[in-house]
Structure 1
């Protein structure tokens, strides 16, 4: 008589080919579960992840209450709260930020970690902040090679956001601004750097490319102080996030256009010196 429950029964060997292995892993685990880690990134189309047929071990994410045991070919990862999965090839697959965190937790190769994280942004899979939140939740930001990779991720995220800002100005017929400038009062203090500035209308755009980190509150206070100072001088500051530019570029173009059109109704701004950044 077999007293094993589905959650405690040994897991069987997996097939040898591609997504069949992933499908069989989910079938054996039963219940609510999803593919995560490198296997999930492969399914999401990451060029820097091995193709499905070359992934020997399949990571499967399940609820913490499940009593499944890992085997040589299936690694069971437990979580207090399962994320909403994506469906790829009829498979439940962890979203990219969670799959990245689960993959990075098992990787020690700094180059591989860096390539995976930067591709998440350059490939348009997700925003940097979502990745950093998952890495922080998994307590991976204390590992030096992960911290280095996060720095590369944030740099890539800013480059992508700047490219989207250029695209927005071009595609929606906005007047050309001065790009990447510093503002100063004549003979006075530095007022801060801006991603785009229309001097005739005294309208500025600043990209918020912060990522969740321990100094986030201090950085936000710095953003706020700069914005308030510029607005006291009569300069309108439009704050854009990479996510808004990606998901609703037309709406952000309307916000900027409205600010430019409203310039004639405002009091003239104080004179400022504009320098290249």
Structure 2
């Protein structure tokens, strides 16, 4: 049968059909985070095992999803949404701070979120790799959102006279790869450092990109042509619509 099975409608136990459906979906995703992000991993998980872990039936699974890949796709988006929300919240709280403090606040917010549960890191950086062309496209699309954020922040820093003017897209792409790799290695126990030390190193890397050694930094109080006052705040970029 093409598509999902039809979900029941009407009110039952004081809850609407939509509320029951949302609850089932949450239970499947919670169970999937445990199975995909830990043992046995996405590729060794079956619909029956996931349904059992969620304390639901396989029929209920097919009322919510077509395949396990659909579950992995939904969970990957959810994990990224959590991290994105944390980063934008930190970004909002750092409005008006100097570049180094602003970058540190953003990365501490992001890193604290993604490392709070090692299963999220494994799912985002390991389990989703190589599953299908569809999920690879989704993974790269979400990475592009982080690249865009770095580029937006870099452009704003240039306008404030805090960074060298250049096209930052290639550097931002390489930097995001470094962020992902370092956080994964740290979470796996391969890096002997505290999370604060990891974040500090990432901030130093980013500042090195934005302020190369051969860049003649403007004198204090200098204002680039067309830019607002030095240190002036900027509207916080909104997260792209989901």
What TM-score, normalized by structure 1, do the two folds share? 0.29
Q: Which has the higher helix share?
A: 2
Identify which of structures 1 and 2 has the higher relative contact order when contacts are C-alpha pairs closer than 8 Å and 6+ apart.
Answer: 2
Asked which structure has the greater CA Rg, the reply is 1
TM-score (normalizing by structure 2): 0.32
